Amino acid sequence: MVKISRKIRTDILVVGSGLSGIKVSKELADQQHHVLLATKMKVASGSSFYPLKASLGTQVSKDKKDEQTFLSDIEDLSRGMHRQDLAEVYVQEIPERVKEYKDIGVNAKKLEGERKACFAPHSRDIYLLSDWDQIRENVREIFSQYDHLAIMEKTVVITLIKKEQRIVGALLLDEKNELVLVECKAAILATGGFGSIYKHNLNPNDVDGSGHILALEAGASLVNMEFIQFIPGITTPRYKTLFGEHTLMYCHDIVGENGESLLDSFLPEGLSKKECLEIRSTHGPFTHSLESKYFDIAMMKQIISSRSEKGFQLLYDEKLYENQEEFYTVYLNWLKEKNVHLIENEIRITPFAHASNGGVYIDIYGRTGVEGLYAIGELSCNIEGANRLGGNSTGACMVFGKRAAVHCGEYVRGIGVHEISEDEGHAHLEKLFGANGKMKRITASVSDSELKRIEEQAHHIIDKIKEVMWYYGNVVRTEKQLTQALQEISSLELQMDVRLFFQQPASRRLAIKAKNFIKLSQILLQAMLERKESRGAHYREDHPHEDPAFEQRLFVSESQTGTMQFTFLNQ
Ligand SMILES: Cc1cc2nc3c(=O)[nH]c(=O)nc-3n(C[C@H](O)[C@H](O)[C@H](O)COP(=O)(O)OP(=O)(O)OC[C@H]3O[C@@H](n4cnc5c(N)ncnc54)[C@H](O)[C@@H]3O)c2cc1C
């Protein structure tokens, strides 16, 4: 029997320590609640503090008048897929929230003048966040002042426990891979997106969608999952480095292996290469909504046919380094520190998985519909739709981090902690890691060579899923490829003996990741199949137009028997 090593009691369990987890924890600690912050890696991690990017921007409404314009910008870009109430809250509250960055140790510097954020038709104030190591130090220092705020690093939350229809606890795997039972009054998930389910992605490995599965299994719904963003990232000279799309203003071509222009055969009549590149320089992620789409489609079509992942070379004009705007100099100097020069080096790019526009369905307080369960940050459906305006995700961490803290703080005042027995904990584990009767019970310890084989098998499954997702759930999607991908995932599922993986402490994390990846990849691929049209970040080569018949959001939920349900709704 797998052993539960200890029990912890707290008021609120916060899962994740990106911007949203840090914000909500600090707010709750200020309200004098007992908080346990569990995070997969170290404090100040996730996409918020991804080391291979120079800075993060937050877009802020200029004034009351701009709130309406900002709302219209979000609405237009979302292609009907966003939630108006969440967007309204955002544009109203972000000017106040941005002032609170300093309270969580984040130095947010306002860019000189106004700038148009990615995809934004109007310019407004942008605050730049940077210096991840300093922020981490600051957060540690700030958190150390609260003796009722405990932190568990290198800890994975593997399941939430419900009683009488409300969240009462969770099971965690701590840094020694031992199981810990947590009793709590509420849980706030702040686990970020799921980019690392793709082979090439611009996320750290801890951003793997495990929070989506936790929420789904607890009874929450997911929405807009098909709208995951892909963004060009650098493959050469420094793999996985963030690419500044604004530099495309100075790019005159993108070429393949033999120097042939990639765009020549893709551009429709009336759209020049220069025009395509200029439009492409205004937004990071791919979108079907703009004529620049041919840039990304050309890359992905070539990748699918050649199965080459080397990337495509960009040819730049030397004038690039003469631009003295802060937005350019900050990025180009940061690249220089990484020994990357856009003219002196051969620069290759490819589509990388970036950020997810969809996620857990929430209300304006981050409530999920499951009592005592909140979801904030990129994990939640947030204010985005089929496209996402740049600089709104960081801001949403602050806005909904604050709102969830206020609501949850009130909620826990009125209730007590439920006692959870070890047997109940074990019952949960059995359900998660021993369900199918086909899996055998392992009681004896296994040899080193057997353990190595188990680990290799788990790695193989995880790597295969990432590869399948990158080729078939990327910028160019078709029914044929998505169906084939689902079949490949099913055959990987059959190879996986999750009980065996979980039984051994050393392979427990891999077991959880493999189990979650199987489920998440099936959800994503199925959602991409269901939306038989092209809209924003979702492009179906076999349904290349936006179709009014699909002007509804796609919800995913799990039935009592574990079957996934996909439903288009006007919510
Ligand atoms: C390269 C890049 C550039 C970006 N640029 C911008 C920008 O300029 N402006 C903007 O607004 N947005 C930008 N974004 C998006 C933005 O950074 C993220 O949406 C936001 O930072 C997410 O914050 P978060 O707190 O929700 O999640 P994250 O920062 O991703 O944090 C997630 C946390 O959850 C933890 N975790 C996950 N699962 C578990 C688990 N099961 N148990 C315990 N812990 C868990 C992780 O370890 C991590 O600590 C960018 C994203 C990327 C990748």
pLDDT, average across residues 166-183: 96
Strand partners, 163: 166
Pocket test for ligand 1, best of 352, 378, 383, 387 (most atoms within 8 A of CB): 378
- How many angstroms separate the CA atoms of 253 and 55, rounded? 27
523's enclosing H/E stretch is: helix 508-530
CA distances from 536 to 227, 285, 482 (A): 7, 10, 18
Q: Which of 48, 124, 283 has most ligand 1 atoms within 8 Å of its beta carbon, as the pocket-test mutant? A: 48
Q: Which two tokens stand for residue 385?
A: 């739709």
122: left (phi over 0), alpha (psi -120 to 50) or beta: beta
Shortest-distance atom of ligand 1 to CA 242: 1
Q: What mean pLDDT value characterizes the chain?
A: 94
Mean pLDDT of 244-252: 96
Cis peptide before 121 (omega within 30 of 0): no
d(CA 176, CA 480): 43
Residue nearest to atom 4 of ligand 1 (CA): 56
pLDDT digits (tens, 9 = 90+) for 99-150: 999 999 999 999 887 778 889 999 999 999 999 999 999 999 999 999 999 9
Q: Could you tell me the two tokens for 570? A: 């006007």
Model pLDDT for residues 483-497, shown as the tens digit of each residue = 999 999 999 999 888
> For residue 546, which amino acid is it?
E
Give the lowest-confidence range in 84-88, 219-223, 407-411, 504-508: 504-508
Residue 382 is predicted with a pLDDT of: 83
pLDDT of residue 112: 83
Separation of CA 355 and ligand 1 centre (Å):
8
Residue 294: per-residue pLDDT: 97
Is pLDDT above 50 for 446?
Answer: yes
pLDDT at 2 over 90: no
Report the pLDDT value the prediction gives residue 54, as an integer from 0 to 100.
Answer: 78
For the CA atoms of 212, 215, 221, 225, the dihedral, rounded to the nearest 10 degrees, stands at: 0
Could you give the CA distance from residue 216 to residue 556 in angstroms, rounded to a whole number?
8
pLDDT of residue 1 exceeding 70: no
What phi and psi, each to the nearest 5 degrees, are found at residue 59? -95, 130
What would the mean pLDDT of 53-77 be, rounded to a whole number? 94
Assess contact for 540 and 531: CB atoms under 8 A.
Answer: yes
Nearest CA to ligand 1 atom 48: 46
- In the chain, pLDDT over 70 holds for what percent of residues? 98
State how far the Cα of 474 lies from the Cα of 197, in Å rounded to an integer: 11
pLDDT at 540: 98
Q: How far is the CA of 189 from the centre of ligand 1 (A)?
A: 12
Q: Which secondary-structure segment (H or E) carries 157?
A: strand 156-163
- For the record, the structure tokens of 484 come out as 């084939």
CA distance 2 to 132: 38
Task: Please spell the DSSP secondary structure of 421-451, one letter per residue.
Answer: -HHHHHHHHHHHHS-STTSPP--S---HHHH
436, pLDDT greater than 50: no
CB 272 within 8 A of CB 288: no
**Residue 70 pLDDT more than 70?**
yes
Mean pLDDT of 50-55: 83
| Mean pLDDT, rounded, for 431-451 | 63
User: What whole-number distance in Å separates Cα of residue 535 and Cα of residue 501?
Assistant: 39
| Cβ–Cβ under 8 Å, residues 383 and 74 | yes
Residue 172 has pLDDT above 90, yes or no: yes
Q: What is the pLDDT of residue 444?
A: 52
In the structure, what pLDDT confidence band is assigned to residue 460 with cuts at 50, 70 and 90?
A: very high
* pLDDT(47) > 70: yes
* The one-letter amino acid at 371: E
Check residue 497 and give its pLDDT: 85
Token look-up 């526009």 returns 357
Is residue 414 within 8 Å of residue 403, measured between CB atoms? no
Q: Which residues contact 509 (CB under 8 A, 6 or more apart)?
A: 156, 173, 177
Instruction: Find how far residue 391's CA is from the centre of its chain.
Output: 15
Ligand 1 pocket, Cβ-based, cut-off 6 angstroms: 15-21, 38-41, 45-48, 50, 53, 56-58, 156-157, 190-192, 202-203, 206-207, 210-211, 242, 354-355, 377-379, 390-394, 397
Percent of the chain scoring above 90 in pLDDT: 86
